[in-house]
Amino acid sequence: MFNSLIPLVALLTSVFVLLLGNGLHGTVVPIRAGLEEFSSLSIGFVGASYYLGYVAGCLWSPYAVKRVGHIRAFTVMASIASSAIMAQAIFLDEGSWIFLRFVTGLCFAGLYVVIESWLNERSSGENRGQILSIYQITNLVALTLGQQLLNVASTSGFILFALSSILISLALVPVALTTSMAPAPLTKVQLRPSWVFKTSPVGAIGCLAVGFVSGAFWSLAPIYAQDSNLSISEIAVFMSVTIVGGAIAQWPLGRLSDVIDRRYVVLVCCFGGAVSGFVMAIFGASSNNMLLALSFFFGCFSFPLYSVCVAHANDYVSSNDFVTMSAGLLLIFGIGAVIGPVLGSSLMSIAGQSTLFVFTASVHLLMAVFTIARIYVKTPVPAAERDNFAPLSGAMTAEALNVDPRSKQNVDQESDVAAGVIQRELGGDI
């Protein structure tokens, strides 16, 4: 295993530095927007624009990579993302930020496509699961530490924007200097959203619900924390604790879903997310310790839901269709992440900041009701016919799905390791 990681050291270093900068910037944006007296609705649109750019980037970036190559595409997109972040410190108005966050999201989708292509190139059937886990750990550690960089300087100044920009620029260096060969050319995988909904309603609606919740949380939770009179260092801890909760619960809940009907694990996640959300909305502002404890449990139940829904959906398809199914679910998640911040911020502007978690709890509760209905309608897949659970994140591009060892493409198409990157075709009904 150690020898197989040596060629990935430079790549994982780039991932770590990139996510360190993006994790910091993702939290700075809503906090600074609040200081600039943006309305809650405007902050919601700023958050939604990042995810809209991310979805657009998943559609566009494979063409760019195919045209100019992986290293040049990575260099261009990192440079543009770094510049867009710096520009946000100069142009402090809602319209500019909505546009600049769209550009940032688009560029990060392209950056992930390049990174995950390299993971495919350097992985084999024997080590793909381990590489996927290491990639996920790198993401979570970087995002967690990125929150702590909030303590470096005041959120009302220029320094944190500059630091985010510097980190993203530095992420260029390991990839630009690598002596490894670039990944194989990208090819198409058909995207069939209507087929995804028909094949696994719980998987599809679940990923949409996760998109609603995740988009709203990442875009608006810092504003909620700020309104709850948390200091900047406490906001950093609040965000970090939520991420850590999700990371800790990911594997136990996933393994439980390998043993019992996954829909019951979906119910556990939804009810847990709903209860923690409602309690946070009511009592979270009363005590900082209470808020941190509730945010931990919110992360425990909310963050693993995406992986469980993807695993459930893939139980109903052959390994040949794994990437197509997972890519469709990823797009559905992205659409939810665009809508979630707008709906959440609308409620916050009408009824106060605490309604953010009323919104997330309501989404979880509705998902639970839908899942219960499906349990009575559809019999579960026998345990012997299920795929093993693998930890996934909605932030991944479709290229990472090919690293997942459950995909038959990874076994049967070793000669074309990048075959799962999606030049997404928006066919069918969403």
Residues 293-317 have pLDDT tens digits of 999 999 999 998 988 888 888 888 8
Contacts of 56 (CB under 8 A, 6+ apart): 102, 105, 106, 109
Query: Which residue shows structure tokens 């600039």?
Result: 36
Q: Which residue has the higher pLDDT, 1 or 257?
A: 257
Query: Residue 348: enclosing H or E segment and its boundaries?
Result: helix 322-351
Please give the single-letter amino acid code of residue 411: V
pLDDT digits (tens, 9 = 90+) for 243-279: 999 888 888 888 888 888 889 999 999 999 999 999 9
Mean pLDDT value across residues 111-140: 72
| More confident: 231 or 193 | 231
Q: Tell the burial category of 430 from Cβ atoms under 10 Å away from its Cβ (0-12, 13-18, 19+).
A: middle
User: Would you state the pLDDT for residue 72?
Assistant: 86
* Mean pLDDT of the 322-339 span: 84
Q: Which of 401, 123, 137 is nearest to 243 (CA)?
A: 137
Q: Is 379 left (phi over 0), alpha (psi -120 to 50) or beta?
A: beta
- Looking at residue 415, its pLDDT comes to 34
What is the chain's length?
Answer: 430
Q: Contact 187/419 with Cβ under 8 angstroms?
A: yes
Q: How many CA atoms lie within 13 A of 427 on its CB side?
A: 9
Contact 396, 116 (CB under 8 A): yes
Q: What pLDDT, on a 0 to 100 scale, did the predictor assign at position 174?
A: 84
Q: Which two tokens stand for residue 70?
A: 């992986």
| The predicted structure's pLDDT at residue 387 | 57
Q: Which residue do the tokens 């900047």 mark?
A: 232
pLDDT in tens, 127-165: 665 676 677 788 888 999 999 999 999 999 999 999 999
Least confident of 63-67, 354-358, 373-377, 425-429: 425-429
| Res. 186: pLDDT tops 70 | no
User: In which residue are the tokens 């310790």 written?
Assistant: 289
Could you tell me how far CA 229 lies from the centroid of its own chain? Answer: 27
How high is the pLDDT of residue 377? 84
Residue 178 reports pLDDT greater than 80: no
Spatial neighbors of 366 by CB under 8 A, at least 6 apart, are 209
Q: What is the pLDDT of residue 261?
A: 84
| Mean pLDDT lowest among 54-63, 146-155, 224-233, 366-375 | 54-63
Q: Is the separation of the CB atoms in 42 and 30 below 8 Å?
A: no
What are the pLDDT digits (tens) for 374-398?
998 876 655 555 555 555 555 555 5
DSSP state of 352: -
pLDDT of residue 189: 57
pTM above threshold 0.85: no
Higher per-residue pLDDT: 429 or 212: 212
Q: Does the pLDDT of residue 170 top 60, yes or no? A: yes
Residue 187, pLDDT above cutoff 80? no
55's CB contacts (< 8 A; 6+ apart) are: 105, 109, 331, 334, 335, 338
Inter-CA distances, 158 with 24, 26, 31, 233, Å = 13, 15, 13, 18
Better-scored residue on pLDDT, 419 or 28: 28
- Per-residue pLDDT at 250: 82
Given a cut of 60, is residue 400 above it in pLDDT? Answer: no
Domains of the chain: 2-412 (1.20.1250.20)
Give the chain's radius of gyration (CA, Å): 20
Average confidence score pLDDT of the chain: 82
